[in-house]
């Protein structure tokens, strides 16, 4: 297992790499959903308010918004009428608007929206990418540029929800070094930047790796997916693991 010194790790994704990773991630999500037993759709996930079905409706809503400016405007207008932080309000609207779909229809629409949705994100013009956006997160207020949101955060969103769904349905999670390892390494990069302290981090599994920053820092060893669950706020950990990142 190679060791990555964090100052040498690439910083974030370019738009084209992000789009390529998103296409792979949606394909894996769709394959997972196609194989779910019927009973799994009603199970609660690690997002306590959401069942598996709710989570899929949210993912579909986000992708359809990226595929259509009209749909994006509709969701934003409706979300402003929901008395919740923007991220949560958008989820409410996305799930509510798709309540009439069958489970199969949700997956069919998700598959149909991938090409246009990811292409829409990839082709977002530079001036719009530079627009700052503020979000109320469980750990406090966060601000990112729109380009970072559509390239990185939306990739993490679908990846983490694939983890959520596989856990809720108790089915295996497909992981590979080239795809999932790249996503996890980027999460580690942001986590490292946010806490700014030395560490040695050994992440186990196909998506894992060894990461270091500085000397004589905290030493952490755990599964790569569990690391992401902790820093995403789905589980808890001590020390530097209390530093959350945006998902």
Residue 116 sits in a domain whose CATH number is 1.20.120.450
Co-location of 141 and 213 in the same domain: no
Decide if pLDDT at 7 tops 60.
Answer: no
The answer to whether residue 243 scores a pLDDT higher than 80 is: yes
Higher per-residue confidence, 63 vs 5: 63
Q: Of 39, 57, 36, 55, give the one whose Cα is nearest residue 47.
A: 55
Domain of residue 210, residue span: 3-8+177-242
Which of 169, 193, 213 is at the close of a domain? 169
Query: Is 90 exceeded by the pLDDT of residue 180?
Result: yes
Same domain for 35 and 129, yes or no, is yes
Residues 146, 91 share a domain: yes
Classify residue 83: in a domain, yes or no: yes
Is the same domain home to 115 and 195?
no
pTM score:
0.93
CA distance 47 to 193: 26
Q: What angle do CA 137, 25, 16 make, to 5 degrees?
A: 90
User: Which structure tokens are listed for 168?
Assistant: 């809720």
Nearest to 165 by CA among 23, 24, 33, 22: 33
**Is the pLDDT at 9 greater than 50, yes or no?**
no
Residue 195 lies inside a defined structural domain of this protein: yes
* Same-domain status, 44 and 67: yes
Judge whether residue 6 has pLDDT over 70.
no
Question: CB 81: neighbour CB atoms within 10 A?
Answer: 9
- Cα maximum dimension of the chain: 56
65 falls within a domain: yes
Q: Where are the alpha helices (DSSP H) in the chain?
A: 15-34, 52-67, 69-79, 86-97, 103-122, 126-129, 146-148, 154-169, 180-195, 224-231
Task: Tell me whether residue 149 is in a domain.
Answer: yes
Q: Which residues contact 38 (CB under 8 A, 6 or more apart)?
A: 103
**Are residues 215 and 149 part of one domain?**
no
If one counts the domains in the chain, the total is: 2
Same domain (yes/no): 138, 187: no
Residue 141 shares a structural domain with residue 190: no
pLDDT at residue 137, rounded to an integer: 82
**Is residue 69 included in any domain, yes or no?**
yes
Could you tell me if 100 and 190 lie in one domain?
no
Last residue of a domain, one of 138, 169, 200: 169
Question: Within this chain, do residues 55 and 130 fall inside the same structural domain, yes or no?
Answer: yes
Residue 157 has pLDDT above 80, yes or no: yes
Task: Collapse the DSSP code of 177 into the 3-class scheme (helix H, G, I; strand E, B; otherwise coil) and give the result.
Answer: coil
The CA-to-CA distance between both ends of the chain, in Å, stands at 26
What distance in Å separates the CA atoms of residue 201 and residue 206, rounded to the nearest whole number? 15
Q: Assign 135 a pLDDT band (cuts: 50, 70, 90).
A: confident
Residue 46 lies in a domain: yes
In this structure, the answer to whether residues 49 and 159 fall within a common structural domain is: yes
Domain match, 105 and 41 both: yes
247 domain-assigned: no
Q: Decide if pLDDT at 101 tops 70.
A: yes
As a whole number of angstroms, the distance between CA 160 and CA 60 comes to 15
Mean pLDDT of the chain: 94
Q: 46-95, pLDDT tens digit by residue?
A: 999 999 999 999 999 999 999 999 999 999 999 999 999 999 999 999 99
In a domain, residue 119? The reply is yes
Looking at residue 153, what is its pLDDT?
95
Confidence of residue 138 (pLDDT cuts 50, 70, 90): confident
Last-in-domain residue among 127, 145, 169: 169
């Amino acid at each position: 297992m190679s060791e990555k010194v964090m100052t040498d790790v690439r910083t974030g994704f370019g738009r084209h790499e992000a789009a390529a990773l998103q296409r792979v991630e949606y394909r894996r999500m769709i394959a997972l959903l196609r194989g779910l037993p019927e009973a799994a759709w009603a199970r609660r996930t690690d997002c306590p308010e959401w069942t598996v079905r709710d989570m899929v409706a949210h993912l579909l809503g986000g992708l359809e918004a990226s595929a259509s400016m009209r749909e994006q405007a509709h969701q934003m207008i409706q979300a402003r009428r929901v008395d919740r932080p923007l991220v949560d309000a958008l989820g409410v609207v996305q799930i509510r608007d798709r309540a009439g779909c069958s489970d199969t229809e949700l997956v069919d629409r998700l598959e149909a929206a991938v090409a246009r949705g990811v292409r829409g994100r990839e082709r977002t013009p530079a001036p719009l990418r530079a627009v700052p956006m503020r979000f109320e997160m469980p750990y406090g207020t966060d601000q990112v540029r729109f380009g970072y949101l559509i390239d990185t955060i939306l990739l993490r969103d679908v990846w983490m929800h694939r983890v959520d769904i596989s856990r809720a349905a108790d089915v295996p999670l497909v992981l590979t070094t080239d795809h999932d390892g790249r996503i996890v390494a980027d999460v580690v990069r942001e986590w490292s930047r946010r806490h700014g302290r030395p560490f040695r981090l050994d992440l186990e599994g196909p998506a894992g790796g060894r990461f270091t920053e500085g000397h004589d820092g905290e030493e952490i060893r755990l599964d790569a997916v569990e690391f992401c669950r902790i820093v995403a706020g789905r589980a808890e950990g001590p020390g530097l693991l209390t530093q959350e990142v945006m998902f």
